[in-house]
Structure 1
Amino acid sequence: MKTITIDQLLSGVGTEVGVSPWRTVTQTMIDQFADATDDHQFIHCDPARAARETPFGGTIAHGFLTLSLLSAMTYETIPRIEGGDMGINAGFENLKFVAPVKTGSRIRTRFFLADVKVRPSGWIQISHDVTIEIENSKKPALTARWLTLTFVAPQDDAAPAQG
């Protein structure tokens, strides 16, 4: 996995910093998510009924499943900060589910680096504007500002050189 320095991170503010590879959302993924969350609504888990009774023509992914795939798409796309071995979700701002993700659709995420705040404690707050796109759709699955925290141990400039 590629790494970048804090200075390189800061220089990327205001730019698109990556686009993830396409990822297919399968019925198996949807069913497993339903099992994990106890959300077995027919629009997600019953292809025949969803085809008959919904405007989607079949099942759709849970919005929260689509959202949760951001973690994997980030790992595939965004360079890690040198010395940053731990990242934490800090929340979302302006999260909007725009269009449903039909089973079998391919999705990917565009990442725009909106803001970086480097704290003396070693915590770096990073804000990405994310758009999860659906292949061959004019509307995205979702848009949001995603806030994360990465810890980079502060360097002790007073420490004696090793060697």
Structure 2
Amino acid sequence: MSSEVSTDELPAALQALRQWAASERLSGSTRITQSRIDAFADATGDHNWIHTDPARAQTGLPGGQTIAHGFLLLSLTVEDDVAALACFPGIAHVLNYGLNKVRFLAPVPSASEVRVRSQLMSLEARRPGQWLLTQQKTVEVIPAGEVAVVAEQLSLIVLAD
């Protein structure tokens, strides 16, 4: 059974993790290029023309540009965390555990710049040596700040023995 644990009861590694996660974090910018969209289409098999046909998009889509796959944008939400969490002493593994809620709120045209905003929602004990980190992730189009994706992302933190 999960339970929220006070900061005083956390092992040192998790106290540091909680401090890191408690501050709102903003990633660097990522350009959503057509080649990145095409590579994602190849990896997933989703070759819908709205993503992969710039010529058709010029006349068939508002703005005249292809748009990024929602799941491509969602995949950007793990990049900064994976590198940061792997560096915490006392943490053996960080595993993607799932998502509670995902909403694709606005299309992101090719050539757009996006960034990811991360906010701690909870850090809960799961079983001895395992903690569930829940964060709200927001993918924003910059410089406008328009929200493209909002997700509750879950990561399972496994402590070293």
When normalised by structure 2's length, the TM-score is 0.83
1:8 aligns with 2:13: no
1:128-139 matches, within 5 Å, as 128-139=135-146
Aligned residue type for 1:7: Q
1:89 aligns with 2:93: no
> Match for residue 29 of structure 2?
22
Q: Extract unaligned runs of 5+ from structure 1.
A: 155-163
> Match for residue 71 of structure 1?
78
1:21-40 matches, within 5 Å, as 21-40=28-47
> Match for residue 104 of structure 1?
111
- Rounded to whole Å, the distance in 2 between the matches of 1:153 and 1:138 is 39
Shift of 1:8: 2.5
Does the aligned pair in 2 maintain the 1:20–1:77 contact within 8 Å?
A: no
List per-residue Cα deviations over 1:114-142 (Å, max 9, x = no partner): 10013442111000011111103342110
Among residues 122, 126, 138, which one is paired with 2:129 in the alignment? Answer: 122
Number of equivalenced pairs? 150
Aligned residue type for 2:61: T
Identity %: 35
Does the aligned pair in 2 maintain the 1:21–1:76 contact within 8 Å?
A: no
Q: Extract unaligned runs of 5+ from structure 2.
A: 1-11
Name the structure with the higher helix share: 2
> Match for residue 160 of structure 1?
none
Does the aligned pair in 2 maintain the 1:87–1:151 contact within 8 Å?
A: yes
TM-align CA RMSD: 2.1
> Match for residue 140 of structure 1?
147
Shift of 1:78: 5.9
Q: Which moved more, 1:46-55 or 1:72-81?
A: 72-81
Shift of 1:86: 1.5
> Match for residue 7 of structure 2?
none
